[in-house]
Amino acid sequence: MLQNELFNNVIQDFNAGYWELYDDPDREVWSEKFYETIGYSKEEVSPTLDYFLEHLLHKEDVDVFRDNFLNYRKNSVNFKQHIRILSKQGEYKLFRCATNDELPVNIKSEVDLIFFFEIKLEPEQNITKDNFYYKETAQMTATGSWYVDFHKRKSYWDFETRRILEYPDDYIPSLKDSAIYYAKDSRQKAADLFFNCAMVGTPFNTEIKMVTANKRVFWVRAIGKPVYNENKEIIGIRGVFQDIDDIKTKELRLQKSIDIIASQNSRLFNFAHIVSHNLRSHTSNLSLLVQLIEGIDNPEEKIALIDEIKQISSSLNTTIEHLNEIVTIHTNRHQERKSVKFQNALNLVINGIGRMVSKSKTKIEADFKEIEEIDYIPAYLESILLNLITNAIKYKHPDRDPIINITTYIEGNNRYLKISDNGRGIDMKLFGDKIFGMYKTFHYNDDAVGIGLFLTKNQVESLNGKITVESEVDTGTTFIIEF
Amino acid sequence: MSHKIGLTCIIDDDSMYVNLVKKIIEAKNLCQNLMVFQNGKDALNYFEAILTNLDKAAIPEIIFLDLNMPVMDGWEFLENFTKIKNNFGKIITLYIVSSSINPVDVERAKNINSVKDYLIKPVTIEDLESIFLNQST
């Protein structure tokens, strides 16, 4: 009795229907819970194995269940099986059915029992679970999958590919216009990768710029590999896109910092060289002069030599001024930028060198329509214009009056100032790498000092810009400043 | 002293330095004639020109070559000069005289066999005297 009570409690906790199997005569008693789960009343069905097999059990499960049931009945072989039972609502419900010995709890019973545990949506649940992990992984790593089917000539994207490319969930990707998913400068690369993969089966794993539906360009790691059929023919390409814009942007920023550091290092090196070379040449002259003075007895000659000291001291001063200018550029770089009108800066410069301009009959043509003003250190812009204009006049072509063309323009995301002249030009093959060096002169002019372009370059670079030069002997020179 | 040096050549763009060396040479009477070029290009033009009419008197016995110069620097001059130096029928002793104390420059100069020595500015009067003395004995 006590045992019976315990049994009943367990059965209740199980919340499952069951059959009690009785011998002599063989019969099964279906529990109330069993009727309840499949939705029939006792009158509607006959609780026999034959009826069950014929009317309620799913056809595909019949053979195995009959086998199991009879084996248990006759030979006491326990079993566990998944079966589908037709409910009154006309749907098959999934059950895990097990004999009492197969149950996790040891239920002592005088009769044999078969339990039917309803499994609510279990097969689907498994898929949902996998799907959940897959979605989690895809979303957390911003990795979308895709497949290109060559036979159907179609592309397939998963939800994450659509998400990172900012297309709606029902968007159908286009295979024909697939170039539009890539940034303009990456299209050729993408085409090459897919072509090689499709033709010779070369897998790819690369970083490439793509474009979202909202025209935002971003960096993606694109991985793809060929898909083969049984005949080892390539029938498609399968792969993933991972949004790596954050990392790539950081990487590019880091690269930019490295470039800046390298350029600063090279400037520092240059500066050390200048200090050692240019200051040393004066001091060594001074020391040579002193030796000479010491070796001379004639007081008049000695006095004459003292004049030379004046000269050395004045050149020493000039050099130190130049060095000072360079150092100032780099301490000034944090100076506040102001909005400067190109035309105003140019006017100031031309006023300053008016005599030089008119004497040389120089024509200055300026067009600042595209960019009229810029945030810059005003003194630098004036100095840059002054250096490049005076250079153009100093190195004018002997056969023609100088014409200097100054324009501003925008290209891509960058702003430029271009200054071209019709002067005698510089032999780029000979001097290309030296043009912006200090104390480098390329012409035979006596007033060539070799400091102007060096300063200009330093000024431009100290404000994170770039200066380049193109030149052809006898045609002219063009300087381009990228701000 | 067996003979006095006839012609010495200075290739240097520092006119102050050239002026001073000139004065020392005159004062110490170290050689008869001095020729000066302000850069490597001018000097090279000269040497290429005298190859066409080998006037021995126009070929210097000693060259003092600076490294940092406009238009054509000392290295470029050396490169071109080494190609033609055996055609003069006369030994030309070449010294580099530079204010560069960069070890890279010194090492590079040592590896060029037409360079006899590398003098770092400031040169002393004693240096110059001993060079001319050694050359003439």
* C-alpha A34: how far from chain center: 60
* Whole-angstrom distance, CA of residue A393 vs CA of residue A436: 18
Predicted local distance difference test score (pLDDT) of residue A6? 64
pLDDT average, residue stretch A153-167: 91
A104 or A292: which leads in pLDDT: A292
Tell me which residues of chain A have a C-beta less than 8 Å from any C-beta of chain B. Answer: 273, 276-277, 280-281, 283-289, 291-292, 295-296, 305, 308, 311-312, 315, 439-442, 444, 448, 450
pTM, 2 dp:
0.48
DSSP calls for B34-103: EEEESSHHHHHHHHHHHHHS--GGGS-SEEEE-SS-SSS-HHHHHHHHHHHGGGSSS--EEEEEES---H
Helices (H), A333-395: 342-352, 354-359, 378-394
Q: Give A316-357 pLDDT, tens digit per residue.
A: 887 788 777 777 776 766 677 788 888 888 888 887 787 788
| Residue A469 scores a pLDDT above 80 | yes
Q: Give A116-148 pLDDT, tens digit per residue.
A: 988 776 555 555 666 677 777 888 888 999 999
Of B20, B123, B124, Cβ closest to residue A289: B20
Predicted local distance difference test score (pLDDT) of residue A445? 46
* Whole-angstrom distance, CA of residue A38 vs CA of residue A49: 16
Confidence of residue A181 (pLDDT cuts 50, 70, 90): very high
pLDDT average, residue stretch A454-480: 84
Tell me which residue of A340, A403, A405, A339 sits closest to A367, measured CA to CA.
Answer: A405
Predicted local distance difference test score (pLDDT) of residue A334? 67
* Contact of A189 with A208, CB cutoff 8 Å: yes
pLDDT average, residue stretch A254-265: 84
pLDDT average, residue stretch A407-428: 86
| Alpha-carbon distances, residue A249 vs A8, A209, A223, A318, B92 (angstroms) | 67, 11, 19, 45, 60
Contact B122 A287 (CB under 8 A): yes
Contact B14 A281 (CB under 8 A): yes
ipTM reported for the complex, 2 dp: 0.76
Confidence of residue A379 (pLDDT cuts 50, 70, 90): confident
* Whole-angstrom distance, CA of residue B116 vs CA of residue B95: 6
Predicted local distance difference test score (pLDDT) of residue A107? 65
DSSP calls for A163-230: HHTT--TT----STTGGGGB-GGGHHHHHHHHHHHHHH---EEEEEEEE-TT--EEEEEEEEEEEE-T
| Alpha-carbon distances, residue A72 vs A21, A23, A54 (angstroms) | 10, 12, 19
Residues of B in contact with A311 (CB under 8 A): 16
| Residue A435 scores a pLDDT above 80 | no
* Contact of A238 with A251, CB cutoff 8 Å: no
Predicted local distance difference test score (pLDDT) of residue A433? 63
A332 or B60: which leads in pLDDT: B60
Share of chain A above pLDDT 70, in %: 87
Mean pLDDT of chain A: 82
| Residue A374 scores a pLDDT above 60 | yes
Q: Give A63-107 pLDDT, tens digit per residue.
A: 778 878 887 887 787 888 888 899 988 888 888 888 877 766 666
